[in-house]
Structure 1
Amino acid sequence: MSLLVTRPAPDFTATAVLPDNTFKDDFSLSDFKGQYVLLFFYPLNFTFVCPSEILAFNKAVKEFSDNNCQLIGISIDSAFSHLAWKNTKVQEGGIGNIQYPLVADLDKSISKSYEVLLDAGIALRGLFLIDREGIVRHQVVNDLPLGRNVNEALRILHALQFTEQHGEVCPANWNKGEEAMKPTAEGVAEYLTNHAS
């Protein structure tokens, strides 16, 4: 697996199920140029960890949207399977009517291009934050049993936007609204002195 950070995000066109449950056959990543995109892969519909992640992202969909960031979920399932999962109640193992697109990677070409496809034919839990110019700025890949942290994904989005706006860098455990540091030796020394304890 190679690192995609700092490189253009591999573009794709595929069928997606939209928030209103319609199919869009020519759904493309390039349609979101000018927006941030949080693209995440999950192994399979109707499984165990996957719905917990999909529902957790859905709870935060407004915060992502308010920060000009489009959430997109992808698995190797068909669009029909995505729709069936959305049409199944949460209490019955479904995900309900989530409010971001689910892309069908039936031929596995998107999973391959992001280098998250396992030999078994399903994707690892890859997550990619793409900036407004289409460049991957953050990626994390979890093994199948390890669910991701939606709050951490939001934190990284906020950090990226902060650095773009202010030109400062975000130290360990930085959260929105906290002090950052100037990218100079003096700036780092001042920050570390102020936060030594």
Structure 2
Amino acid sequence: DEFQEEMTLAGSKAFIGQPAPNFKTTAVVNGDFKEISLCQFKGKYVVLFFYPLDFTFVCPTEIIAFSDRIAEFKQLDVAVMACSTDSHFSHLAWVNTDRKMGGLGAMNIPILADTNHTISRAYGVLKEDDGIAYRQKKDMHAISNCSV
């Protein structure tokens, strides 16, 4: 089908109805570095969203909105994680920057580091020429149901 063909061309290994590509990476969780893998969430719903870069102006509002509403996701037994190709050190600096200064402030969700681009590539969101992950746009497809 057309969607699967587009995702294959983008190098994605993520397909609706199929197991989601596993990953293991360092994340910023509650201000500390922690190893996270997708298989930790086996049998649960997971919202994994991507954003291009730390310290950008649009991304913090979306990331903060997910973080601030984490209680609602937890009531539904849904894990939420953000991911970009920046390092965990950059993520920590962004988390440690006050929201009034363009930072994230304290986060209630893990911020995953994808410095080797394997997660972004596996999910078909890597912009290869820039080495950054696309953020969801109206004309882009979202993978809405892969199993963990």
TM-score by length of 1: 0.63
* Distance in 2 (alpha carbons) for counterparts of 1:80 and 1:129: 30
Question: Which of 79, 88, 111 does residue 79 from structure 1 map onto?
Answer: 88
Decide which structure has the larger Cα Rg and report it. Answer: 1
Match of 2:31 among 2, 18, 21: 21
1:70 match: secondary structure: strand
In the alignment, the residues of structure 2 paired with residue 104 and residue 38 of structure 1 have an alpha-carbon distance, to the nearest angstrom, of 16
Give yes or no for the alignment of 1:56 onto 2:65. yes
Alignment of 1:33-182 (within 5 A): 33-118=42-127, 119-126=129-136, 128-130=143-145, 133-134=147-148
Superposition deviation, residue 34 in structure 1:
2.2
Superimposed CA distance per residue, residues 133-188 of structure 1 (whole angstroms, 9 cap, x where no aligned partner): 42xxxxxxxxxxxxxxxxxxxxxxxxxxxxxxxxxxxxxxxxxxxxxxxxxxxxxx
Structure 1 runs (4+) deviating above 6 angstroms are: none
Separation in 2, partners of 1:106, 1:71: 20
The 3 A distance-change label for structure 1 pair 31 and 86 is: same
Q: How many residues align?
A: 131
Instruction: Indicate if the aligned counterparts of 1:46 and 1:93 stay in contact, CA closer than 8 A.
Output: yes
Q: Equivalents in 2 of 1:125, 1:7: separation in Å?
A: 22
Letter in 2 for 1:14: T
Unaligned runs of 5+ in 1: 135-197
Task: Assess if the C-alpha contact under 8 Å between 1:39 and 1:129 holds in 2.
Answer: no
Q: Secondary structure at the match of 1:23?
A: strand
CA distance 1:101–1:128, change in 2 (3 Å) = farther
Q: Compare relative contact order (CA 8 Å, sep 6+) and give the higher one, 1 or 2.
A: 2
Q: CA deviation at 1:129?
A: 4.4
Contact map agreement 1:40 1:128 (CA 8 A) in 2: no
Contact 1:75 1:105 survives alignment (8 Å): yes
**Shift of residue 101, structure 1, vs aligned partner:** 0.3
Q: 1 CA distance for matches of 2:107 and 2:144?
A: 20
Alpha-carbon distance in 2 for matches of 1:38, 1:24: 18
Q: Name the Cα RMSD after superposition.
A: 1.5
What percent of counterpart residues are identical?
A: 47
Kindly provide the CA deviation profile for residues 110-149 of structure 1, in whole angstroms up to 9, marking residues without a partner as x: 1011111112111111455456x42xxxxxxxxxxxxxxx
